Amino acid sequence: MQLSSGRTRRRQAKSASSRYGWKASSDAWRWPNWTKLNSNKDGSMALDLEEQEQLDELKEWWTKHGNLVMGIVSVFLIAVGGWKIYHVWSANQSTKALVLFERAMQASAAHDTGSVKALTGKIMDDYGRTGYALPAAWLAAKTNFDARAGDAEGHARTPGNAPTQGTPAAK
């Protein structure tokens, strides 16, 4: 068994790379260029008659229907993009409504009726399509009810609020 020299191996690798389109060296390797395996001397692909007919049919079909296909693809991409943008916008609106609703809940816990009315009104006006509009309306109604119930209790206990003579309660 005779060992070949490095020079012979490089020559063999060089001939393989020229035949198959890949570079056979230790520092750089790339995928084979398969088009060189089946190409003519002028660089064009060698196609048989059936493949050429199929390619001509495809070109004719693309010439006839290419604009329609591109239009459908464009409409589809615009629709998908619009759908995604709508979901991002909707999530952004819900986040803003959540922040306002949390502030309204804190104001309700602090019995700040004016702030609750302002915040819930802003939620219902600006963010009416979010899921926070209905709970904001309920919170506003509860706050108004509690405020009126507190006013009724406060009037009954305050000594200077006795009914005057012209009222039915005074008779």
User: pLDDT tens-digit profile of 50-61?
Assistant: 888 999 999 999
> What is the sign of the dihedral through the CA atoms of 124, 128, 130 and 133?
positive
Give the rounded distance of the alpha carbon of 68 from its chain centre.
Answer: 27
Residue owning tokens 């084979």: 32
- Total domains in the chain come to 1
Contact (Cβ atoms closer than 8 angstroms) between residue 138 and residue 132: no
Q: What is the pLDDT of residue 6?
A: 56
Residue 93 in domain: yes
Residue 119 in domain: yes
Residue 109 in domain: yes
Cβ neighbour number for residue 169 with a 10 Å cutoff? 7
Contact (Cβ atoms closer than 8 angstroms) between residue 11 and residue 4: no
For residues 47 and 35, give the distance between their C-alpha atoms in angstroms, rounded to a whole number. 12
Residue 14 in domain: no
pLDDT digits (tens, 9 = 90+) for 86-96: 999 999 999 99
Which two structure tokens, joined as six digits, stand for 117? 């009315």
Residue 128 in domain: yes
Q: What is the pTM of this model?
A: 0.51
Residue 145 in domain: yes
Residue 149 in domain: yes
More confident: 5 or 48: 48
Range of the domain at 102: 75-156
Element (DSSP H or E) covering residue 73? helix 49-109
For residues 16 and 23, give the distance between their C-alpha atoms in angstroms, rounded to a whole number. 8
- Is residue 156 predicted with pLDDT exceeding 50? no
Residue 42 in domain: no
Beta strands in the chain (DSSP E): none
